[in-house]
Amino acid sequence: MKPTNEFTWRRHYETVRKRSLMLAEPLSSEDCGAQSMPDASPVKWHLAHTTWFFETFILEPMEAQFAPFHPAFRVLFNSYYNGIGERHPRAQRGLLTRPSLQEVRAYRANVDQRIARLLAEHADDEALAALIELGLQHEQQHQELILTDVKHMLAQNALYPTYSSASPAAPDTPPAAGWVDFAGALTEIGHDGDGFCFDNELPRHRQYVLPFALAARLVTNAEYLEFIDAGGYRDPALWLSEGWDQVCALSLAHPLYWRRDAHGSWHEFTLHGMGPLAPDLPAVHLSLYEANAYAHWRGARLPTEAEWELAARGADRGLHQMFGHCWQWTSSSYSPYPGYATAPGALGEYNGKFMLNQYVLRGSSKATPPGHARASYRNFFPAGARWQFTGIRLAK
Amino acid sequence: MKPTNEFTWRRHYETVRKRSLMLAEPLSSEDCGAQSMPDASPVKWHLAHTTWFFETFILEPMEAQFAPFHPAFRVLFNSYYNGIGERHPRAQRGLLTRPSLQEVRAYRANVDQRIARLLAEHADDEALAALIELGLQHEQQHQELILTDVKHMLAQNALYPTYSSASPAAPDTPPAAGWVDFAGALTEIGHDGDGFCFDNELPRHRQYVLPFALAARLVTNAEYLEFIDAGGYRDPALWLSEGWDQVCALSLAHPLYWRRDAHGSWHEFTLHGMGPLAPDLPAVHLSLYEANAYAHWRGARLPTEAEWELAARGADRGLHQMFGHCWQWTSSSYSPYPGYATAPGALGEYNGKFMLNQYVLRGSSKATPPGHARASYRNFFPAGARWQFTGIRLAK
Amino acid sequence: MKPTNEFTWRRHYETVRKRSLMLAEPLSSEDCGAQSMPDASPVKWHLAHTTWFFETFILEPMEAQFAPFHPAFRVLFNSYYNGIGERHPRAQRGLLTRPSLQEVRAYRANVDQRIARLLAEHADDEALAALIELGLQHEQQHQELILTDVKHMLAQNALYPTYSSASPAAPDTPPAAGWVDFAGALTEIGHDGDGFCFDNELPRHRQYVLPFALAARLVTNAEYLEFIDAGGYRDPALWLSEGWDQVCALSLAHPLYWRRDAHGSWHEFTLHGMGPLAPDLPAVHLSLYEANAYAHWRGARLPTEAEWELAARGADRGLHQMFGHCWQWTSSSYSPYPGYATAPGALGEYNGKFMLNQYVLRGSSKATPPGHARASYRNFFPAGARWQFTGIRLAK
Amino acid sequence: MKPTNEFTWRRHYETVRKRSLMLAEPLSSEDCGAQSMPDASPVKWHLAHTTWFFETFILEPMEAQFAPFHPAFRVLFNSYYNGIGERHPRAQRGLLTRPSLQEVRAYRANVDQRIARLLAEHADDEALAALIELGLQHEQQHQELILTDVKHMLAQNALYPTYSSASPAAPDTPPAAGWVDFAGALTEIGHDGDGFCFDNELPRHRQYVLPFALAARLVTNAEYLEFIDAGGYRDPALWLSEGWDQVCALSLAHPLYWRRDAHGSWHEFTLHGMGPLAPDLPAVHLSLYEANAYAHWRGARLPTEAEWELAARGADRGLHQMFGHCWQWTSSSYSPYPGYATAPGALGEYNGKFMLNQYVLRGSSKATPPGHARASYRNFFPAGARWQFTGIRLAK
């Protein structure tokens, strides 16, 4: 994951960038333009915004004769960087029928070419390499969002279109349930080593963790169904106050993409379309409210992010499904590590300003790009978010 | 406008239906899919809904072996007919990336072919002819909406894309201003004669109209600018209470598509893109609130719909721009004529259930299809609507 | 109703003003301070605002050495007169715990004394007399609102407190049902004669009315219950589109103050508290939506305001309950009569600016002060309003 | 604070309960009934709810022949206990004009008498003593809310009424500014000792705290004014993303109760009315957003709750204003301590269900009742709350 010279960087850059286009392949230009809610963005917008990131934070400061690909794109594809200036309203990204998907591809090709030139000219520039890496990690984050956002959009359509026409792989038998115990420890939390990390994983710092146990695997659909059948969505005593408000306001009775047919059978909408609920797969698309209510009902709790990270570093010790299945809610509010400092300039807005009223998720999901996960990675979403691949690992 | 046999009907049908596709021609499939607000619909949705109308109200009851083109389309493309059943949520029409524009074209072709077969088989069926005519008039209404809705959508984009790349025709010198007097009369209002009309134009009935005068032409951009420059948007005394609320809530200071550049010059967004404001053209995209405040400021008023219709029947008497420029707000609330009765079944929902809290507009606009206008035609919109081609003819 | 000199005016003034205080008598100062919704005002606010009206529109222009009772009251008790200046936010009138009810009484006494002095000094000033009369008519309008607003407020309380501890009078047997026919006529509509009227009843003008029939009496609770039992609140075909939206959004199933107990018996909350529904009384607290749906279901319609007025002028002809029971919805949108002109200055805001998206009610209710009703009187409310004493007289 | 027998408990009970009535003394019954926003409650409601707490959690389970004072009060004065049943809607507490303030006083007297009887009968019942203590601590929490809520209500009134007619005490010179250093430590956090604490202060547990420094005193009005004058409310780079959204949505430019007069002088509304801003007093009524932006601008940060508690235990070491001035925002999200367990039954809803999307405040304010503060006390509010006595102590 750590390229060491121009050619390796170039190959790495090309690989990651191509993957974004590959994810858009099964979609029509109409599919790529629609936005299903303010929290989600059109696929085309993701393709353009990730390109804008390279143009704004690398080409603009480093190209000798920088001229923007299109002056209006500075506004259209700025996500949330006040330091860069005005932005197109977030909730109206689905109205950007121009530029077309084809023009966005041309934008990508143009920026890619110029990045390649910069890499050739500044082969040994470590600052450039660091920015390229940040841009690629950023693009990988959006690759996951491309899948979650398009899934949400397709789910609004009564035709329940499939994203992928391949049959879903038959799920394996889930690992055996059980608990794995960990001793208390004055430990170090946060990223270490040479590889890339985001600023929110730093600084590595001391933290005392009390003895705890983690569930050996994720909660399955079958287990979550027991919660539903036991009246979990009807008992306020199981829920956080805000969670119960959401249950009542939205009349929630099951996870986001579950549907019950006229015969009482449960189905789930996935990127493969609508199909029977797979009992052995991890339950996903759960909010922190749902995760917390489920844990309460089981007489357990959610792990803290420190517990999760400590456990993940010794992951050979009986834990399954830590990565690659779904993001796992923790009870930890997303806040800066002691000594955390934001980068200067607009890039300082990348993470720091969101460290409030969001909760940390650990692990990675089946939508996370290969090589993007690590034990210290801190994903975060508001407690009510349900459209991400989010699930439950119990602790006690 | 009244075809008399199969071949004429068939030609009429083909002409109107082709015109809808022709209106979509300058647009990409992305343009055709986006929805800028709940009141407006995507072009693709208009193309499908008008087809659904023929399928639902003609093919379904009349085809011997009727099968729907696609069962889900019954829900997806139902606009507001409770009598037909469920509907896709109005505000989410922009999320229907499937069916694709190409599939909607195939849907149109299929229905067109089946309508042609029906026409051949039932050449003398007057009930069929009446339904065909209703379907075509309905489609013409949507042809105007295609233009107003796509204009609104393009206007949300900082690129201000053009719908039509042709240069706008240089406007003629406007007709001379002035007043045309009409005597009071116990007159007949409502449609008469053999041609088509909507049910809301009936029954023709007696109404007493007091003496009045109508302005010989529409209010121009230059005249409306005088209202702005005189502080019209800052003086609550000129406005209806609801209108002033809208001015304050949305910080209104000019018509919907006007923009003032850094040098103080006014520009207007049209289907030809952003260009300098044309002083002699009729002012358009005005709400009834704006029309009323302007009239108040001029010491005049808006006409009633009976006055307008009475005048339009003697339109050789000095009145200009009654048709083909913009819809003209009247002070008349949209309500049923005495003795009005809705059709039985779901088609009864076409007009009657909207006869409340809307106001009548008369005339027609430059976006109205040829042959669609007449003196008794009753268009209607809520008082705050600004995205239609709506303007002002004064009365006193 | 038309006093002719100082002493008569003075007595009339005192009578009307005392009646407001009398209406507040059964209420505590706490009751008088609360506001149940933005459309309703606290009783204390009504008592102060009606006094502000006399102070602002009579004392301020006519007193030689005018000084306000309290400078802040100009803002606190201005209802909607932009011409007077700033206003306390309408939805927050319930937060005005100061001035206290006692201070508002002192405000009333002070203004009453000064008005008495003015009347003594300007015994023959017709302009003063006209303003006094307007102020008293205004106060009478608020006397009805005092009752409707306090009823709405008390109804929010699970204790269902009574406003009046007297037992409600046993209702008489209702008049016989039936229809009264009227011939078509080119008639005059609007106020005539010498007595007071509001500007919205003028000018009297010609109008052609087609032949029609009015129901001899109002719709009773028992009759409205038949509509409910027949599924009236579940059939969209009976409702105007906006009305059906309200039914769905608020899950409406019966009139505002009806409740069904565990045994299925209907009760109604009145100013006497919660009691069994009286089948023979006119059904009240109905919106125009409900009135219209009911009429539709009965195969009838609502009268126009011209029909109602024409009928009321010949009220000896078999019509019952035209006045003193409940306001009767008409199908007429509230709009200016031909030639209507607003008064100059802030008083011009009294009526004119509300002539949009409201509907006319005719007659008067049991809460209307004695002497305040007449055939030409135009009451008006938005179609969805349910907290007034509003009911149904059918027409056909 | 820990009474040891019946007589001491009784005296303690009487003292605390009387203090609530004493706080309502300067207010009229109208003042006591109004509710300025859903987050705040009327004073009368606080007086009744605290009584309901004793009735519901002590009298009902312990009285042999329990009968409620009024059956409807169970619903009217239940705050948020789903386990007890239905509740009057929170946003409509201002509509409860009945029971009157006098009836609520009678309710208080009745419950007080019955509690006294229980205390006499069960002199040695430790469970009863514990519940009495919880009820009194609960009442003390509401005593602070009585002051913050009535202040917010009075501030909505353009008359800016005073709560207390006494002159505010002239502020002392503030303590000298500076930093107090603390070494890192593996320490114990949470309540210890014999005295009362809420369940959220338990269990006491180990936590590692890195070396840190706390400001020796609170941020003053003069210091906060420097932030304003330096453009603090106009620079998004200083704010958390949610905070900047609030600044923009509400057009914030200063603390909640500050006003700038026409001459540019700053004034502040306090319980003594509107007066000149006191530069040396601690800045109060700040949200966590404002506190965080201020700290960012000073190059500092907010303390964690563990840091604050650790420091408070050694408060002889140079720290001023830890208690009795204002609550001090920490950067710690309100979450359960490791091993935290809620009480069984409805009382379990007291704290636990709110442990999400709220932030911890430490210390106490000038509105906190005597004896109610301690180093382990965890107050909590949402980040945007501004109507509490909340201020800033910096850390680094």
Tell me the two tokens of residue B186. 């116990």
| C260 Cβ under 8 Å from any chain B Cβ | no
d(CA A69, CA C176): 82
Q: Where residue C269 sits, what CATH number does that domain have?
A: 3.90.1580.10
| A94 Cβ under 8 Å from any chain B Cβ | yes
Give the N- to C-terminal CA distance of chain C in Å, as an integer.
Answer: 35
Instruction: Kindly state whether residues D218 and D363 are assigned to the same domain.
Output: yes
d(CA A245, CA A251): 10
Instruction: Kindly state whether residues B141 and B31 are assigned to the same domain.
Output: yes
Question: Is the residue at B167 inside a domain?
Answer: no
| Nearest-neighbour CA in chain D from A106: distance (Å) | 33
Find the mean pLDDT for residues A225-232. 98
Chains C and A touch (3+ CB pairs under 8 A): no
Interface test with C, best of B244, B351, B353, B358 (most C CBs within 10 A): B353
d(CA A247, CA C344): 55
Percent of chain A with pLDDT over 70: 98
> Between C80, C184, C383, which is nearest B356 by CB?
C383
Identify the closest residue of chain D to A82 by CA–CA distance: D236
Find the mean pLDDT for residues A79-102. 96
| D76 Cβ under 8 Å from any chain C Cβ | yes
Identify the closest residue of chain B to C244 by CA–CA distance: B353
Tell me the two tokens of residue A290. 């749902």
Contacts of B336 in chain C (CB under 8 A): 331
Summarised one tens digit per residue, pLDDT across range D114-123 is 999 999 999 8
| Nearest-neighbour CA in chain B from C50: distance (Å) | 21
Digits of tens for pLDDT over chain B (396 positions)? 455 677 789 999 999 999 999 999 999 999 999 999 999 999 999 999 999 999 999 999 999 999 999 999 999 999 999 999 999 999 999 999 999 999 999 999 999 999 999 999 998 899 999 999 999 999 999 999 999 999 999 999 999 999 988 877 777 788 999 999 999 999 999 999 889 999 999 999 999 999 999 999 999 999 999 999 999 999 999 999 999 999 999 999 999 999 999 999 999 999 999 999 999 999 999 999 999 999 999 999 999 999 999 999 986 679 999 999 999 999 999 999 999 988 889 999 999 999 999 999 999 999 999 999 999 999 999 999 999 999 999 999
Question: Is the residue at B279 inside a domain?
Answer: yes
Find the mean pLDDT for residues D154-159. 97
Below-70 pLDDT ranges, chain C: 1-4, 315-316
Find the mean pLDDT for residues D284-301. 98
Residue D316 binned pLDDT confidence (cut-offs 50, 70, 90): low
Identify the closest residue of chain A to D234 by CA–CA distance: A82
Contacts of D349 in chain A (CB under 8 A): 237
* Binary contact (A95, B29; C-beta < 8 A): no
| D249 Cβ under 8 Å from any chain A Cβ | no
Contacting chains of C (3 CB pairs or more, <8 Å) are: B, D
Mean pLDDT of chain A: 95
Residue with tokens 């009446």: B130
Instruction: Kindly state whether residues B273 and B380 are assigned to the same domain.
Output: yes
Question: Is the residue at D169 inside a domain?
Answer: no
0.90 surpassed by complex ipTM: yes
Tell me the two tokens of residue C203. 């000018």
Contacts of B241 in chain C (CB under 8 A): 80, 353-354, 356
* Binary contact (B354, C210; C-beta < 8 A): no
Instruction: Kindly state whether residues A105 and A208 are assigned to the same domain.
Output: no
List for chain A the helix, strand, coil content (%; round to 5).
Answer: 40, 15, 45
Flag whether pLDDT at D394 surpasses 50: yes
Instruction: Quote the domain boundaries for residue A209.
Output: 179-391
* Binary contact (D237, A82; C-beta < 8 A): yes
Instruction: Kindly state whether residues D132 and D184 are assigned to the same domain.
Output: no
Identify the closest residue of chain A to D340 by CA–CA distance: A301
* Residues in chain D, overall count: 396
Tell me the two tokens of residue C291. 């009135």
- Answer for the pair D307, D297: CB distance below 8 angstroms, yes or no: no
Chains C and B touch (3+ CB pairs under 8 A): yes
Q: How much is the pTM?
A: 0.96
Instruction: Kindly state whether residues B141 and B276 are assigned to the same domain.
Output: no
Contacts of A156 in chain B (CB under 8 A): 92, 95
Instruction: Kindly state whether residues A187 and A151 are assigned to the same domain.
Output: no
Question: Is the residue at B217 inside a domain?
Answer: yes
| A222 Cβ under 8 Å from any chain D Cβ | no
Question: Is the residue at D160 inside a domain?
Answer: no
Contacts of D94 in chain C (CB under 8 A): 34-35, 94
Contacts of A43 in chain B (CB under 8 A): none
Identify the closest residue of chain C to D99 by CA–CA distance: C159
pLDDT at D1: 43
* Most confident by average pLDDT, A2-16, D7-21, D307-321: D7-21
| Nearest-neighbour CA in chain C from D101: distance (Å) | 8
Flag whether pLDDT at A281 surpasses 80: yes
Contacts of A99 in chain B (CB under 8 A): 159
* Binary contact (B239, C353; C-beta < 8 A): yes
Question: Is the residue at A82 inside a domain?
Answer: yes
Summarised one tens digit per residue, pLDDT across range A118-144 is 999 998 899 999 999 999 999 999 999
Find the mean pLDDT for residues D49-78. 97
The secondary element (H helix, E strand) that includes residue A118 is: helix A101-121
Instruction: Kindly state whether residues C134 and C215 are assigned to the same domain.
Output: no
Contacts of B350 in chain C (CB under 8 A): none
Residue A337 makes CB contacts below 8 A (sequence gap 6+) with A189, A190, A200, A201, A202, A203, A205
* Residues in chain A, overall count: 396
Alpha-carbon distances, residue A115 vs A112, A132, C190 (angstroms): 5, 9, 79
Single residue among A105, A139, A155 that ends a domain in this structure: A155
Residue B180 makes CB contacts below 8 A (sequence gap 6+) with B213, B214, B215, B216, B311, B317, B318, B319
| Nearest-neighbour CA in chain D from C263: distance (Å) | 20
| Nearest-neighbour CA in chain C from B165: distance (Å) | 40
Flag whether pLDDT at A2 surpasses 60: no
Contacts of B75 in chain A (CB under 8 A): 158
| A43 Cβ under 8 Å from any chain B Cβ | no
Contacts of D159 in chain C (CB under 8 A): 72, 76, 98-99
- Answer for the pair A332, A359: CB distance below 8 angstroms, yes or no: yes
Residue D343 binned pLDDT confidence (cut-offs 50, 70, 90): confident
- Number of domains chain B contains: 2
Instruction: Kindly state whether residues D201 and D134 are assigned to the same domain.
Output: no
* Binary contact (A97, B28; C-beta < 8 A): yes
d(CA B344, CA B357): 24
| Nearest-neighbour CA in chain A from B28: distance (Å) | 8
Single residue among A87, A120, A155 that ends a domain in this structure: A155
| B101 Cβ under 8 Å from any chain A Cβ | yes
Q: A135 exposed, middle or buried (CB, 10 Å; 0-12, 13-18, 19+)?
A: buried
pLDDT at A317: 77
| Nearest-neighbour CA in chain C from B359: distance (Å) | 9
Among the listed ranges B8-12, C65-69, D47-51, D59-63, which one has the minimum average pLDDT value? B8-12
* Binary contact (D357, A239; C-beta < 8 A): no
pLDDT at D289: 98
* Binary contact (B33, A33; C-beta < 8 A): yes
* Binary contact (D97, C31; C-beta < 8 A): yes
Q: A140 exposed, middle or buried (CB, 10 Å; 0-12, 13-18, 19+)?
A: buried
Contacts of C344 in chain B (CB under 8 A): none
Instruction: Kindly state whether residues D211 and D285 are assigned to the same domain.
Output: yes
For B113-131, give one letter per residue: b (16+ CB within 10 A) or e: ebbeebbeeeeeeeebbeb
Instruction: Kindly state whether residues A298 and A369 are assigned to the same domain.
Output: yes
Summarised one tens digit per residue, pLDDT across range B238-297 is 999 999 999 999 999 999 999 999 999 999 999 999 999 999 999 999 999 999 999 999
> Between C208, C331, C336, which is nearest B186 by CB?
C208
Instruction: Kindly state whether residues A15 and A67 are assigned to the same domain.
Output: yes
pLDDT at B1: 43
Mean pLDDT of chain C: 95
**Residue B35: φ, ψ to 5°:** -125, 120
Percent of chain D with pLDDT over 90: 91
Alpha-carbon distances, residue B254 vs B282, B319, D96 (angstroms): 15, 27, 46
* Binary contact (D97, C72; C-beta < 8 A): no
Size of interface A-B (CB pairs under 8 A): 85
Question: Is the residue at D376 inside a domain?
Answer: yes
| Nearest-neighbour CA in chain D from C12: distance (Å) | 32
Question: Is the residue at B1 inside a domain?
Answer: no
| Nearest-neighbour CA in chain D from C77: distance (Å) | 11
Single residue among C88, C122, C155 that ends a domain in this structure: C155
Residue D73 binned pLDDT confidence (cut-offs 50, 70, 90): very high
| B66 Cβ under 8 Å from any chain C Cβ | no
